[in-house]
Amino acid sequence: MELSAVVTGAARGIGREVVEQLSAAGYRVVAVDLSPEVNDLAKAGAVVPLVADVTAPGTPAAAIGRAIDEFGRLDLLVNNAARFLRRPVLETTDDDFDALFATNVRPAFRFARAALPHLAETRGSIVNTASISGLVGIANQSVYAMTKGAVVQLTRQLAVEWAGRGVRVNAVAPGAVDTGFMDEARAADPDPAASLAVTLANHPIGRMSAPGEVARAIVFLAAPESAGITGTILSVDGGYVAR
């Protein structure tokens, strides 16, 4: 039996690693991203790339429908696509607020709504990519952090509501990960090297996580080995929130 998954934010970074690890584990995957780079993932019919904006109202049903059409079942949804914003509160506009919630929160809810009936049939699961920013306060990340707090709570809500129907829902909460995600924000700093040094100093292991390390935690949360785990927010943060 071949398992099937939908992964958002799949073109690069953590999402790309998730697709590669799932493929290696025998999953067939619909890989969703805004960027046409997601097309690079297509190989031997096991990965179906879908270039789409997760904020578009029709994307969740289209992506889940594609998995059902192509693979006949859905075992896993990974809500991973997101945008970062580092901005002091007083400089953060209503448009920033709306855009971040529209990208980081509402699609995850819509994808879950589209996926849950299918996941109930396979006793499948959802894994959301949250963040340490959704667990603790981090200066200048107000709206981004609020979106990740919402992802944490979405995870718990869905876990409790759907446990009786056999669907598990968990999240990972990465600390700094070595992807392009925060590079742009850091590049805009007056002293990017000093900013990176502060980030590293805040992680007891003294380094960023590799995207593959976060992906491994996501794949674990989807696997039968974690059958007893639901509603959990698994930190992959080099000790950040343990300080």
Per CB under 6 A, 186 contacts ligand NAD:
no
Q: Mutual orientation of helices 142-162 and 106-122 as an angle, nearest 10°? A: 20
Q: Is 82 in the site for ligand NAD (CB under 6 A)?
A: yes
Decide if residue 98 touches ligand NAD (CB under 6 A). Answer: no
Nearer to ligand NAD, 35 or 121 (CB): 35
Per CB under 6 A, 142 contacts ligand NAD: no
- Is 13 a binding residue for ligand NAD by CB under 6 A? The answer is yes
- What is the C-alpha to C-alpha distance for residues 138 and 133, in angstroms, rounded to an integer? 6
Q: Annotate 106-133 with DSSP letters as a single string.
A: HHHHHHHHHHHHHHHHHT-EEEEE--GG
Catalytic residue among 71, 111, 144, 162: 144
Which residue from 181, 215, 221, 238 is in contact with ligand NAD, where contact means CB under 6 A? 181
9 belongs to the binding site for ligand NAD (CB under 6 A): yes
Write out the two tokens for 177.
């990960």
> Should residue 30 be labelled a site residue for ligand NAD when binding is judged by CB under 6 A?
no
Let me know: does 198 contact 176? Beta carbons within 8 Å: no
Interface residue with ligand NAD among 45, 137, 180, 228 (CB under 6 A) is 180
Among 49, 60, 174, 238, binds ligand NAD (CB under 6 A): 174
Is 83 one of the binding residues for ligand NAD (CB under 6 A)?
A: yes
What is residue 210's DSSP assignment?
P
**Cα 225 to Cα 113: distance, rounded to the nearest angstrom:** 25
Is 27 a known active-site residue?
no
Instruction: State the Cα–Cα distance between residues 8 and 18, nearest whole angstrom.
Output: 10
Residue 71 touches ligand NAD, criterion: CB under 6 A: no
Query: Residue 60 is encoded by which pair of tokens?
Result: 């969740």
Nearest one of 7, 4, 64 to 31, comparing CA atoms: 7
Residue 140 binding ligand NAD, by CB under 6 A: no
For 138, phi and psi rounded to 5 degrees?
-135, 120
CB of 174 to ligand NAD, least distance (A): 4
Q: For residues 215 and 14, is the Cβ–Cβ distance under 8 A? A: yes
Stretch that binds ligand NAD, among 11-19, 111-119, 188-196, 222-230 (CB under 6 A): 11-19
Query: Could you tell me if 49 and 31 are in contact, meaning their C-beta atoms sit under 8 angstroms apart?
Result: yes
Closest separation in Å from C-beta 160 to ligand NAD: 22
CB nearer to ligand NAD: give 80 or 155: 80
Per rule CB under 6 A, is residue 183 in the interface with ligand NAD?
A: no
Q: Which residues pair with 51 in a beta bridge?
A: 33
Contacts with ligand NAD, residue ranges (CB under 6 A): 9, 11-15, 33-35, 53-55, 80-83, 103, 129, 131, 174, 176-177, 179-182, 211
Residues with catalytic roles:
144
